[in-house]
Amino acid sequence: MYRASGRTSPRERFCCSRWVSTSCASAPRLEGKMGPLDKLQPIDATPSASEKVAERLMGLIASGNIAPGDKLPSENELAKALHVSRPVVREALRGMTMMGVVQTRQGGGSYVTDLKPNRLMAPLSFVLSLQDYSLESLFTARTVIDGGLAAEAARNVTPAQLDRFAELVEVAYRTVGDAVAFRVADVEFHELIGTAADNAFLDQVSRSLYSLAVDQRRKASEIPGVLDQSAKDHDAIVSALAAGDPKAAEVAMAAHVAHIRKTTLDVLSGADPIPFRIR
């Protein structure tokens, strides 16, 4: 440990960003597997104390002082280091568990998860489902996110993925008369675009947006001609991916989202929808 001339190393000086002083001298020293808990300073036992506990622990995780898979100090150790009660620590850990940052393993103890994007982004779908959003804002977001993913997929798609895309297009044409089978293939199609784009964060945002308004889209899929159009849309997207043309892929995806938007709004308005023309 760097102690030359009585100075501390940069790592020791990093004490959870703005909430911890450089010296950390006032905090109890509790040595554990992951290093000194003196990086944590006491906090006031206020109604938001558990949030502050979570913030400080996540600061240590973000800084690399606590790594994915590491076991956290016990509730008692954390409570002593932060000068809060064990229930406050327990509430903080519960919140971090819901966020996908911490998990409890059989045999006891709390551990940092693998921190993979799909785990951390999982709560987004739930949060979005609680919001009073407009469908216009949803489809605008899908146009931007899914269009960008399609463009990235055109740059990064692999031969094996292109083969699967071709198979999914065939499935789409084959199942236009079976809405359930079509929707199953549709889920894989859109997820594969996210995978091919090779951007885990955008992929998870796209999946969260895809999960919204699903009931309306299910009803829309029963409108005559809708699935035929979606199959054609998928075909156009895959053609752009195969050509390695990001702009064409983005435009094809935007057109696909526009078609989905129209039929979804038709369902919500209760209007007698005009079926898509089958060319």
The larger pLDDT score, comparing residue 48 to residue 131, is at: 48
Most confident residue range from 61-70, 190-199, 205-214: 190-199
| φ and ψ at residue 83, rounded to 5 degrees | 60, 45
The larger pLDDT score, comparing residue 43 to residue 4, is at: 43
* CATH architecture entry for 122-269: Up-down Bundle (1.20)
| DSSP structural state of residue 244 | T
Mean pLDDT for the stretch of residues 50-75: 88
Q: Any alpha helices (H) in 131-269, and if so which ranges?
A: 135-156, 159-174, 179-197, 200-210, 214-220, 226-242, 246-269
The larger pLDDT score, comparing residue 222 to residue 187, is at: 187
pLDDT at 32 over 50: no
Task: State the first-to-last Cα distance of the chain, in angstroms, to the nearest integer.
Answer: 72
Q: What is the pLDDT of residue 124?
A: 58
Q: Where are the domains of the chain?
A: 4-115, 122-269
The larger pLDDT score, comparing residue 21 to residue 51, is at: 51
The mean predicted confidence, pLDDT, of the chain is 79
Q: What is the pLDDT of residue 8?
A: 40
Q: Report whether 158 contacts 198 (CB < 8 A).
A: no
Query: What confidence tier does 160 reach under pLDDT thresholds 50, 70, 90?
Result: very high
The larger pLDDT score, comparing residue 204 to residue 225, is at: 225
Q: What is the pLDDT of residue 35?
A: 57
- Residue 265: CB atoms within 10 Å: 16
Measured between alpha carbons, how far is residue 135 from residues 190, 212, 251 in Å?
19, 9, 20
Mean pLDDT for the stretch of residues 236-258: 97
Q: Does domain 4-115 have CATH number 2.160.10.10?
A: no
pLDDT at 89 over 70: yes
Q: What is the pLDDT of residue 224?
A: 86
Most confident residue range from 4-8, 52-56, 138-142, 183-187: 183-187
Query: What confidence tier does 218 reach under pLDDT thresholds 50, 70, 90?
Result: confident
The larger pLDDT score, comparing residue 32 to residue 76, is at: 76
Query: What confidence tier does 61 reach under pLDDT thresholds 50, 70, 90?
Result: confident
pLDDT at 201 over 50: yes
CA distance 39 to 48: 20
Candidates 17, 96, 20; CA nearest to 59 is: 17
Over the stretch 111-145, which tens digit does the pLDDT of each residue have?
998 877 666 665 555 555 555 567 788 889 999 99
Q: What is the pLDDT of residue 158?
A: 98
Are β-strands 31-32 and 102-104 bridged in parallel, bridged antiparallel, or unpaired?
unpaired
pLDDT at 46 over 90: no
pLDDT at 238 over 70: yes
Which residues are paired to 32 by β-bridges? Answer: 35
Give the whole-number percent of the chain exceeding pLDDT 90. Answer: 43
For the four alpha carbons of 74, 79, 81 and 82, in that order, the dihedral sign comes to positive
